[in-house]
Amino acid sequence: MPKIAVYGAGSWGSALAVLLAKAGHEVALIGRHADEMEEMKRQRENKRYLPGVALPSGLLPTTDLTLLKAEMVVFSVPSHGVREAACLVRPYLSEGCIVVNTAKGMEEGTHLRLSQVLIEELPNNPVAVLSGPSHAEEVGRDMPTTVVVASEVETAKAVQDMMMTPSFRVYTNPDVIGVELGGALKNVIALCTGIAEGLGFGDNTKAALMTRGLAEIARLGVALGGNPLTFAGLSGVGDLIVTCTSPHSRNRRAGVALGQGKALDTVLREVGMVVEGVRATRIAHNLGIENNIPMPITEQAYKVLFENADAKVAVSDLMLRGKRHELEEVLEMNWLS
């Protein structure tokens, strides 16, 4: 069976390594901290990031970067670490080895999508992105999950072949831009639905945020080159649903605590795992301004997170905006023609 390396031993890297090892691949799960990886090797479990999931025998927890010489390398580090990680692994990768990014975010400062960062740093490797509604806690326990892999066709098919299992169904989609933006931007809306929950609002409010949130994700996504239909797929509405509603979601949980009045740094410390929506809010807010795209929910999220705005006032400001046609951009921009 092909050898696969997973770089990044947090929740998602660990769950994907478990999945791939159970599928019969020889898998190296490569982390940064020798003590943590040794402990994982001894206990056959990632107690900090994926408790309760046994590591199968074909999975080797390690810090040995030479094991990156594999047929496929799966990147599972937080989005802010992707460039640094790419530079670190570059000397070890075989030419032509497929690199699959699984982080959901964009690069701060450059506003590049993460596949663009990887292409810049790893010019000799085909790059694919994996996204969709997929919490590590469920994938690690073989719960039926569907995801999408985006890249040029042959690479996407190769990743689909290597990653698909009876409990992990992988679709392909050539729309890398749409798939990446859906995955990055849904985290902003998940923070917002969490905040609404923390404020004591109900399901109507959450459904409103999800639906109108998707409208603004698609608006920005299409302006940046994504296919409108991708936002109706797994990496769009699919991931939005799971992240806004699941008890596993770190972004939703962080939002709930913010809505209950806790300070952002306290919330991030308490969650203890990466909350991508915070950076994504700043990036999406800036992209909206740069591209002249109205993003009212993102704008309010930005004010609450970074300008100390009162979350209740933010909700009220959204409710009191000027009157609009529900399908304004669809009609104006001829999306369906």
Ligand X SMILES: NC(=O)c1ccc[n+]([C@@H]2O[C@H](COP(=O)([O-])OP(=O)(O)OC[C@H]3O[C@@H](n4cnc5c(N)ncnc54)[C@H](O)[C@@H]3O)[C@@H](O)[C@H]2O)c1
Ligand Y SMILES: O=P(O)(O)OC[C@H](O)CO
Residues with active-site annotation: 186
Using the minimum distance from each CB to ligand X, give the nearer residue, 33 or 324.
Answer: 33
Q: Is 335 annotated to bind ligand?
A: no
DSSP 113: B
303 binds, among ligand X, ligand Y, none (CB under 5 to 8 A by kind): none
Residue type, 146: T
Residues in region 67-106 near ligand Y by CB under 6 A: 104
Among 8, 105, 133, 226, binds ligand Y (CB under 6 A): 133
Nearest distance from C-beta of residue 77 to ligand X, angstroms: 4
- The residue behind tokens 């799960």 is 29
Q: Is 104 annotated to bind ligand?
A: yes
Among 155, 230, 251, 281, binds ligand Y (CB under 6 A): 251
Residue 163: partners with Cβ closer than 8 Å, 6 or more residues away: 19, 20, 23, 100, 130, 149, 170
DSSP 32: S
Using the minimum distance from each CB to ligand Y, give the nearer residue, 67 or 129.
Answer: 129
Nearest distance from C-beta of residue 301 to ligand Y, angstroms: 14
Let me know: does 285 contact 291? Beta carbons within 8 Å: no
251 binds, among ligand Y, ligand X, none (CB under 5 to 8 A by kind): ligand Y
Rounded CA separation 148/130 (Å)? 6
Rounded CA separation 11/29 (Å)? 12
Nearest distance from C-beta of residue 157 to ligand Y, angstroms: 23
Nearest distance from C-beta of residue 274 to ligand Y, angstroms: 7
Residues in region 44-63 near ligand X by CB under 6 A: 49
Using the minimum distance from each CB to ligand X, give the nearer residue, 223 or 273.
Answer: 273
Using the minimum distance from each CB to ligand X, give the nearer residue, 61 or 259.
Answer: 61
Residue 76 sits in the site that holds ligand X (CB under 6 A):
yes
Q: Which two tokens stand for residue 50?
A: 């994926």
- The residue behind tokens 């190769």 is 158
Residue 235 sits in the site that holds ligand Y (CB under 6 A):
no
Nearest distance from C-beta of residue 276 to ligand Y, angstroms: 6
DSSP 322: P
Within 10 Å of residue 102's Cβ, how many Cβ atoms? 23
Applying CB under 6 A, the span of 243-251, 262-270, 287-295, 326-334 interacting with ligand Y comes to 243-251
Torsion of CA 286, 13, 242, 310, to 10 degrees: -40
SS3 45: strand
User: Where does residue 33 rank: exposed (0-12), middle (13-18), buried (19+ CB within 10 A)?
Assistant: exposed
Q: Which two tokens stand for residue 36?
A: 């943590």
Rounded CA separation 281/140 (Å)? 28
190 binds, among ligand X, ligand Y, none (CB under 5 to 8 A by kind): ligand Y
Q: How many helices (H) and strands (E) does the chain have?
A: 15, 10
Nearest distance from C-beta of residue 29 to ligand X, angstroms: 10
Residue 9 sits in the site that holds ligand X (CB under 6 A):
yes
Q: Is 286 annotated to bind ligand?
A: no
Let me know: does 156 contact 176? Beta carbons within 8 Å: no
Q: By the criterion CB under 6 A, which residues form the site for ligand X? A: 8-13, 31-32, 49, 76-79, 81, 84-85, 102-105, 134-136, 273-274, 276
Q: By the criterion CB under 6 A, which residues form the site for ligand Y? A: 104, 133-135, 190, 239, 242-243, 248-251, 276
Residues making up the annotated binding site are 8-13, 32-33, 49, 104, 132, 134, 136, 186, 239, 249-251, 274, 276
